Amino acid sequence: MSLETGLIGLGILLALLILRVPVAIALIGVSLGGIGAMMGVDVAVSMLASKPYDFLSKWTLSAVPMFLLMGFISYHTGLTAGLFNAAKVVFRWLPGGLAISSVFASSGFAAVSGSSVACAAAMGKIAIPEMVRSGYKPSFACGTIAAGGTIGALIPPSILMIIYGTFTQTSITNVFLGGIVIGLVTAVAYSLVILLVSFFRPDIVPRHEKGALDYTAAQAIREIWPVLVLGAIIFGGMFSGVFTATEAGAIGAGGAIIISLLLRRLDLGIFKTALLETLATTSSLLIIGIGASMFTVFLSLSGVSGAVGDLLADWELSFLQLMLMIVVVYLVLGLFMEPFGAMLITLPIFLPILDSFQVSLIWFGVLVVKLLEIGMITPPVGMNIFVIRGVAAKYASLVDIFRGVTLFLVADLFIVALMVLAPEFVMILSG
């Protein structure tokens, strides 16, 4: 009866998600109903009373609001505004230099944001108008920024990676190190796509851009030194062991506030806006985490996790076959679910299986984040596409932007294949 209840619960959860019921409500509702049916209402209510505290009391989760606050303050006070111009100093001599600059500027923005959506929105407002003026096809310009925004969840401090590390009890710092490797590989791969398009289709990406900005390295450093200082403090301290990834969030938020005050860019109105955005985003993420922790208990008590493991054992899947299955699952979920929900719904099912295959949870965390970020630019619910549509509506339609990311999606699939076939590549920095 327990296994039957678990399978019914999975079916109900899938139906609720298809009906667009909020992920947190669906997870909590199915978990409470399932445990209540198996063990009684009193046990379900007892879990509702204890599980939220058990999840939220984890010290590592305090990094989430701190890194979010750092990102929102940096954005609203303009600390990141010079990243695109600074990147142009380095890459403007290349064919497609503006597009390549936007990709690497996205990587820099990610270092003080941790959010794919924020990264796409910020860079879209700055880069798309200039790229179109320089002769880029609008759909490709928008697609480049949408794809570049996905780097925001790979380069630390990635909020997705913090949640993953907390949920799986894995070293967040080591997951961050793997994220740096794949984030930079992604930026290079996107740049190669731009160079190839420039070579074969100069009507889409001009080889010699019109009206290139005469911008010096000295000017670039003057504009981006706050980001350089913040990045040096956070990454230097975190990866040298001076402080943990959790402590780095508080230090980064404090650093962003102090630098903004010194530059006289932070006032009470901006601080209030950043604080409210931090609270809203943190709340929406953590309630999904609460639902996922309850769902894990439900799957365990019902025996679904064990049954899935036994089924796969009977199939005698190889590592590559297992990874192919998991990759397909995440790519499909990415078509209609936002990343946090997709990750936290699947981890309770996949973790016991990964344990039996002795898969590194550090490597798997980076792979999951990469797969989830692919979902940010795939139809019909690619969140980054809608963000770019919102900031660049006069340049391209939704269909045009989806077309503009096609080649970047192909590059992403090659990167995923590299990660699966050569897992040690992801672990270069973390050992």
Q: 250: which 2 tokens?
A: 């508080």
Q: According to DSSP H, which parts of 334-360 are helical?
A: 339-356
Burial of 313 by CB count in 10 Å (0-12 exposed, 13-18 middle, 19+ buried)?
exposed
* Three-state secondary-structure class, residue 83: helix
Q: Give dist(CA 147, CA 106) in Å, integer.
A: 10
Q: What is the mean pLDDT of the chain?
A: 85
Residue 23 burial class via C-beta count within 10 angstroms: exposed 0-12, middle 13-18, buried 19 and up: buried
Whole-number Å distance between alpha carbons of 291 and 32: 10
Integer Cα distance of 191 and 194 in angstroms: 5
What's the token pair of residue 133?
């003026």
Q: Residue 422 corresponds to which tokens in the numbers above?
A: 């050569």
User: And the tokens for 399?
Assistant: 């269909």
Residue 273 vs residues 76, 258, 276, 287, 399: alpha-carbon distances, Å: 9, 17, 5, 22, 33
Percent of the chain with pLDDT over 70: 96
- In this prediction, residue 209 has a pLDDT band, given cuts at 50, 70 and 90, of low
pLDDT digits (tens, 9 = 90+) for 347-401: 888 888 888 888 999 999 999 999 998 988 887 777 888 888 888 888 888 889 9
Crossing angle between the packed helical segments 2-18 and 23-39, to the nearest 10 degrees = 160
Q: What percent of the chain has pLDDT over 90?
A: 25
Helix (H) or strand (E) holding 225, with range, is helix 217-240
The helix/strand/coil state of 418 is: helix
Res 57: pLDDT: 83
Per-residue pLDDT tens over the stretch 113-164 = 767 777 777 788 888 888 888 889 999 999 999 998 888 888 888 888 998 9
Non-local (6+) Cβ contacts of 224 within 8 A are: 82, 83, 86, 108
Q: Report d(CA 398, CA 388) in Å as an integer.
A: 9
Phi-psi region of 21 (alpha: psi -120 to 50; beta: other; left: phi over 0): beta
Contact yes or no for 245/59 (Cβ under 8 A)? no
Q: Could you tell me the pLDDT band of residue 218, with boundaries at 50, 70 and 90?
A: confident
- Cα(83)–Cα(151) distance, integer angstroms: 15
Report whether 419 contacts 370 (CB < 8 A): yes
How far apart are the C-alpha atoms of 176 and 141, rounded to whole Å?
Answer: 29
User: The tokens 């980064």 sit on which residue?
Assistant: 252
Cβ partners under 8 Å of residue 9, min gap 6: 30, 31, 33, 34, 298, 302, 304
pLDDT digits (tens, 9 = 90+) for 281-324: 888 888 888 888 888 888 878 877 677 767 776 777 888 999 99
pLDDT greater at residue 114 or residue 229: 229
pTM (predicted TM-score): 0.86
| Per-residue H/E/C for 101-126 | HHHHHHHHHHCCCCCHHHHHHHHHHH
